[in-house]
Structure 1
Amino acid sequence: MRFLLRLLSPLIALVVAAVGVVTTIEVVTAWLAPSSSPLIVPWPTWRAGLEGLTWSSATVRTIAIVIGVVGLLVLLVGLVARRHDVELTDPVPEVTVTTSPRSLARAVGHEVRSHADVVSASVVASQKKVVVKAGTLDAPDAVRGAVRERVDEVLARLPLAHRPRVSVSVAPTKGVK
């Protein structure tokens, strides 16, 4: 969602800037040569068409609903794209301590990869869940318990405000040559 927000923000800014430039050109043209026709936007024709509309017209209501829905979608994208930090226990009431999910995943991944039987590991973390996918040359069932124990040890050492759920999967990998 953050990618979508980073994409939408400049696009909306460009549209607003373009409307501002076109409006400025039309206003300056109307001031300097009021009798000439408009340069870019046929605003006299639009004004004549809009004079017959009222607030209770179906066209006005439809446009208002569409603008409202688009505005709510942009607001929703903005709210969903916020940072999802992992809360740690506060040392004192005046101080709030957080870490990023990436840092938590890095700490867990470092510990999992230090296990002798783990060849590769991938860790994804959030405030609610830690997902570990490890690869081993040995029997996966034998390694899964040891990896789970290491993950639990790391999470116990960290001052997490809420302990996340842990999901560990271990799969056999082909031998490295």
Structure 2
Amino acid sequence: MSIRQGLLALLSQQPMYGAQLRAEFEDRTAGTWPLNVGQVYTTLGRLQRDGFVESAGEPDEEGRITYRLTDVGRTTVGEWFASSVSPDADPRDELTIKVALGVTLPDVDVRSVVQTQRVDSMRHLQVLTRRKRAAVEKDDLARELVLERSIFAIEAQVRWLDHMESRIRRSHRRTTTPAAEENAR
């Protein structure tokens, strides 16, 4: 998801200044994508330059500028919600890159990389599950949905780690001689 689209969506509710947008974004997404306030203001500057937002008046007594959507910005928000998101939207996946490189380098114990990740993923899954329970108790549907998405992603990652470990083991057996395999035991 683009920060740009997220900020526009929040501004479709009401005019806000940068720190408000940051707080609302993090609160409504259960803190899954923390934003730097400088990043928010840089994005707002570009949105203003491109005609999607405008100043909602003079800066307040603390010098904060409140932004509101323009008609073009409001149309863009509607188009964003009406469109699908490509499954290829995530530009990079560090774990996949780490494993792909690891299996090609001779001094990397990829099985250890996989096990370390599995332990951390399971720990993270427990944290997310506790947070989800708290969201359910508070009847916070937005937070619950975001946390469920994260839980499903971690569960899928653990399944992939299991699969990958099996593939690495099978590949290792094919490239290892029976005598070397016996010595490894």
Q: Which category describes the TM-score, using the shorter chain as reference length?
A: under 0.3
More strand by share: 1
More helix by share: 2
Bigger radius of gyration: 1
Normalised by the size of structure 2, how large is the TM-score? 0.23
Normalised by the size of structure 1, how large is the TM-score? 0.24
